[in-house]
Amino acid sequence: MIRLDSTIHLDIRYATANNIVHRPVYRQARAFLQRSAAQALVRVHRTLSEKGYGLLVFDGYRPWSVTKIFWDSVRPEQRAFVADPKKGSKHNRACAVDLSLYDRATGKEVEMPSAYDETSERASPSYAGGTPEQSARRDLLRSAMEKEGFTVEPNEWWHFNYKDWREYPILDIPFEKIREDSGSPANQTKTPSKAHAARMVITGQGAVEITRAATLPRKKRETPLRPCVPMTTRSAPLSLAASAIAS
Ligand SMILES: [Zn+2]
**pLDDT (tens digit per residue) in 182-199:** 333 433 333 333 333 223
CA of 63 to the centre of ligand 1 (A): 12
CA of 59 to the centre of ligand 1 (A): 7
pLDDT digits (tens, 9 = 90+) for 199-241: 322 233 456 676 554 333 333 333 333 433 322 233 323 323 3
Average pLDDT in the chain: 77
CA of 160 to the centre of ligand 1 (A): 7
Residues with CB under 5 A from ligand 1 (ion): 98, 159
CA of 236 to the centre of ligand 1 (A): 24
Name the percent of the chain lying above pLDDT 70: 71
CA of 180 to the centre of ligand 1 (A): 25
Residue 163 pLDDT exceeds 80: yes
CA of 83 to the centre of ligand 1 (A): 9
3-state secondary structure of 142: helix
CA of 141 to the centre of ligand 1 (A): 15
Helix (H) or strand (E) holding 82: none
Is residue 230 a contact partner of residue 60, using CB atoms and an 8 Å limit? no
When pLDDT is averaged across residues 25-36 and rounded to a whole number, the result is: 90
Task: List Cβ neighbours of 87 (8 Å cut-off, separation of 6 or more).
Answer: 241, 244, 245
CA of 19 to the centre of ligand 1 (A): 12
Enclosing domain of residue 84? 1-247
- pTM for the whole structure: 0.75
What CATH number did the domain enclosing 124 receive? Answer: 3.30.1380.10
Q: What angle do CA 71, 77, 81 make, to 5 degrees?
A: 55
Kindly report which listed range (20-34, 117-131, 152-166, 168-182) carries the lowest average pLDDT score: 168-182
Is residue 93 a contact partner of residue 165, using CB atoms and an 8 Å limit? yes
The DSSP letter of residue 40 is H
CA of 58 to the centre of ligand 1 (A): 9
Task: List Cβ neighbours of 175 (8 Å cut-off, separation of 6 or more).
Answer: 26, 27, 28, 30, 32, 63
Q: How many structural domains comprise the chain?
A: 1
Predicted pLDDT of residue 206: 53
